[in-house]
Amino acid sequence: MTSRIDPLTLEVVELIGTIVARYHEEYEEAAAKHALTGAQARVLGLLSRAPTPMRRLAQQLKCEPSNVTGIVDRLEARGLAERRLDPADRRVKLAAATEAGRETSAQLRGSLDFAREPLAELSDEERTVLRDLLKRVLGDVS
């Protein structure tokens, strides 16, 4: 059962696991620097792109809508987000980042050093190879 996967694949999976762990660690750490939790940072990141209905946020976060209520509440309480009414459908509330929210989100993106440092090890050519391999692993047919 356990030995059906070849050692090479197993090694790659383990490496990916390590990357996942480190990515998370850095993300939470960067969020904490702005006194945000991971969930709050994720929502703020989405909102800084475009105002979004609560329901859609829940879909993007893969969680229940009732959960999003609390997260947006906390962002709103800190002046990073606000709720607007959708003129086209009065049931809908559009969560949107405030100016302060957009700024915080931009700073957060900038401090996510996971991007630059480790990948700087690779040449352009290697980065291209890595990109293509990752794309295929993800089943990107484009």
> Does residue 80 belong to the site contacting DNA (CB under 7 A)?
no
- Cβ atoms < 10 Å from Cβ of 10: 12
Binding partner of 35, given a copy of itself, DNA, none, CB within 5-8 angstroms per partner class: none
> Does residue 89 belong to the site contacting DNA (CB under 7 A)?
yes
Q: CA-CA distance, 66 to 76, in Å (whole number)?
A: 16
CB burial of 40-50 (b: ≥16 within 10 Å; e: otherwise) equals: bbbbbbbbbee
* For the chain, counts of helices (H) and of strands (E): 7, 3
Contacts of 25 (CB under 8 A, 6+ apart): none
DSSP state of 82: E
Among 45, 51, 67, 112, binds DNA (CB under 7 A): 67
Q: At what angle do helices 54-61 and 38-47 cross, to 10 degrees?
A: 120
Binding partner of 121, given a copy of itself, DNA, none, CB within 5-8 angstroms per partner class: a copy of itself
- Give, as ranges, the residues between 95 and 134 that touch DNA (CB under 7 A): none
Which segment (30-38, 46-54, 66-74, 116-124) binds a copy of itself by CB under 8 A? 116-124
- Give, as ranges, the residues between 41 and 70 that touch a copy of itself (CB under 8 A): 62
Which residues of the chain form contacts with a copy of itself (CB under 8 A)? 1-2, 5, 8-13, 15-20, 22-25, 62, 106, 109-110, 112, 114-116, 118-119, 121-122, 124, 126-131, 133-139
Q: Which residues are at the interface with DNA (CB under 7 A)?
A: 37-40, 53-56, 61-74, 83, 89-94
